[in-house]
A and B are shown apart, each in its own frame.
Chain A
């Protein structure tokens, strides 16, 4: 169980840790299919707007750039957090994780505001097939970010309570994989929904 191998980072040490990281990658594979299905649905329904507002009528570049900036930065800061963890420095690690979650919360705030704007323009999730697909896709990503915030808080509490050990390092690292994944999904949302939709 406790085979110490210093050539491997702490989060990978021990059989269980190794299994958890591998299993999480498989889970991310399933998540990719989940989002791919939502994207496919969106591309299928994108021009089926009925009498409701269309994408070009709704999308504004300002908030979207802000969201992108917030989420991409948070991906960078969690990378710094993991780096601090590997150096064994608890405080910087926690600080970077907190910054990450704050940026995530900022992203979420902008996204919610954007949704409210849509609804103000008479574009609700029930207005047309296009809006159902758009809001479900964005909403699923947003729900993932929300879940990530709750999960991240749990990780920060545990690291501050128990310090950096094999167990907490493993959890913090897996959380970082999840967070990076959300960022990757956002890049696709940004490119294929907003940029393409505004062209």
Chain B
């Protein structure tokens, strides 16, 4: 690769401008950290940490930054298509933007945001000191971060992936896509996917093995239940992606023939493997959001969750069905009537358990004393909007009708109607709900509610017109259209909606700034919402050891009943608490693995192998390391508890 090829993307003014902007931003951050002498603080408190709460906060922070980037891409796409024959973006740049928008939003916004919530909330909800493997948890985060860096630098160095987030062959193959663009796709997903797999193993182990005494399976809070199922799906779905990406890399970089159009290769094999992972992936990002809604709706209706058992059962059924529907993503791509028929039925079946959940939420609210807080607004907005997404999903599930909808904006509207009210509202509800637990003060309610209305209205204005455009035959991923098609009006409305949506997301950022400045007035105790599950039984922000005394559980919503009965859940005797040691190794190992991937992307195999050996050395060092952890002594715990109680 020559320098001119590597920096080819910079020839475009828009990318050059972004690159300069990023440079200025990075320099400003570095200068700020140096000026305020914060490097040591950052290194010791965050880069080295194995504390699940801090790792959770870092996940959410990175997810918000990526949300900003994915959002800007979305705005650019809407701006480009707002008027016919627009010259804002050329076709190549448009291809890159819709590809990275999809990749970023699913894998670098939705997943890490949820992983952040898992990290912050799950150990607290089950009364654990930390996750099962704290050091592995740090490695998961840093690998994800390395993947995020790779996909972002691709814009400036070498060129971004441009074959759609699904990267179907043969388009994504070396024959039609000779640049490094799709190597970035393979490697950034591979590296962050490894992190996701480790997270899955970690949380399955944590939830199975580390629940507080007495917390049997039917006493586990619903967010933990839903996340448990999502993590099981992670463990069984991500290896499929790992293998598919390895085969993509080998096809592109070593000339194997898996997906090629010659020597027996089969391009449809990629589509199948991709969606065998990809469809369960949808449920990985939606089930935990369902869990958030369950917590939020029960809390703000002042009632216990309706139909707990059926909630659990429906999620288990959904998780099984999620592996049996993948072919509905390409009904039109040449399988026969029988295959299409079977996949139609399994797909429609998913609507049944999902409908059960919707009714459970509605019945939880029935006769409840509802308070309209920001998280509750998101939960309330979710139900009707998500139902539209679900119903259009059943329309798409009908294979014969799908020939009309396939690859049109109707489909794009459908999955945004599922993922935005489902996942995005879910993570925003969780974010507003658990923010006080993370930082000890609430976010401003008024700004939060204004943000909700802007996002809910902006969303519908943006995406509803796409249903109509799609039915009128507007194909997705078109970078422009001519005036005679008559597509402009609805596209323009959609663009205006996108601006409102952007304004809504801007209020989220403003709310952080505002609430940070007014944190004294917004400060709150351990249980600001009068909530039900165990995470609210400890202080806010949570001390390092989580619970001075691990509570014993006798029923679901133990904390709620303890409050009503005036019992102190942490009344037992304080003992020394065993904690894991911090370590910088996960960070440096991820740096090395990120560089390994980077050189691999540019076919510098020699350097890549050397860095691969360094990774093995990291693992060997870890194997020989004797790490007994450390203890927090009774005296320190008592002092900390007194200090935190005094604060309240």
Contacts and interface: CB of A to CB of B under 8 A. Distances in A.
26 contacts: A19-B210, A20-B133, A26-B200, A26-B205, A31-B239, A33-B239, A37-B239, A37-B240, A41-B243, A41-B258, A41-B273, A45-B258, A45-B269, A48-B265, A50-B262, A52-B263, A125-B254, A126-B257, A128-B263, A129-B257, A129-B258, A129-B266, A136-B250, A136-B256, A151-B623, A154-B624
A38 B242 CA distance: 10
Interface in A124-139: 125-133, 136
Interface string A156-196: 01100000000100010000000000000000000000000
B264 A126 contact: no
A65 interface: no
Interface string B201-232: 11011001110000000000000000000000
B235 A133 contact: no
B205 to A, nearest CB: 4
A49 B247 CA distance: 17
Contacts of B251: 132
- Chain B interface mostly: helix
Interface residues of A, number: 40
Interface string B252-272: 001111101011111001000
Nearest to B201: A26
B456 to A, nearest CB: 38
Contact of B623 (A1, A130, A136, A154): A154
Contact of A19 (B132, B197, B254, B620): B132
Given A30-B200, A41-B243, A129-B263, 5 more contacts: A26-B205, A30-B201, A33-B240, A127-B257, A132-B257
The SS class assigned to the A binding surface is helix
Given A19-B209, A41-B247, A154-B624, A132 B236 contact: no
B132 A23 contact: yes
B625 to A, nearest CB: 11
A30 B236 contact: yes
A108 B266 CA distance: 30
Contact of A154 (B132, B237, B258, B620): B620
Interface of A: 1, 18-20, 22-23, 26-27, 29-31, 33-34, 37-38, 41, 44-45, 48-52, 125-133, 136, 150-151, 154, 157-158, 167, 171
A150 B619 CA distance: 11
B118 interface: no
A189 to B, nearest CB: 16
Contacts of A158: 623-624
Contacts of A29: 235-236
Nearest to A19: B132
B361 interface: no
Contacts, number: 113
A126 B254 contact: yes
Contacts of B620: 150, 154
Contacts of B263: 50-52, 127-129
Contacts of B132: 19, 23
Nearest to A127: B263
A30 B197 contact: yes
A197 to B, nearest CB: 16
A49 B257 CA distance: 10
The 3 lowest CB-CB distance pairs between A and B, nearest first, are A48-B264, A129-B264, A50-B263
Contact of B260 (A129, A157, A167): A129
Contacts of A52: 263
B467 to A, nearest CB: 36
A125 B202 CA distance: 36
B247 to A, nearest CB: 7
Contacts of B623: 151, 154, 158, 171
Interface in B589-648: 616, 620, 623-624, 626
Given A27-B201, A136-B256, A34 B242 contact: yes
A154 B262 CA distance: 44
B578 interface: yes
B244 interface: yes
Contacts of A34: 239, 242-243
Contacts of B441: none
Nearest to B133: A23
A154 B201 CA distance: 24
A167 B254 contact: no
A103 to B, nearest CB: 22
A133 B132 CA distance: 36
B238 interface: yes
B471 interface: no
A190 to B, nearest CB: 21
A20 B243 CA distance: 25
B246 interface: yes
Contacts of B255: 126
A89 to B, nearest CB: 23
A111 to B, nearest CB: 19
B254 A50 contact: no
Interface string B146-186: 00000000000000000000000000000000000000000
B626 A128 contact: no
A38 B239 CA distance: 10
Nearest to A151: B623
A171 to B, nearest CB: 8
A44 B133 contact: no
A168 to B, nearest CB: 10
A154 B623 CA distance: 7
Most buried by A among B132, B200, B202, B620: B132
B615 to A, nearest CB: 12
A19 B276 CA distance: 30
A119 B204 CA distance: 43
A132 B269 contact: no
Contacts of A18: 209
A136 B209 contact: no
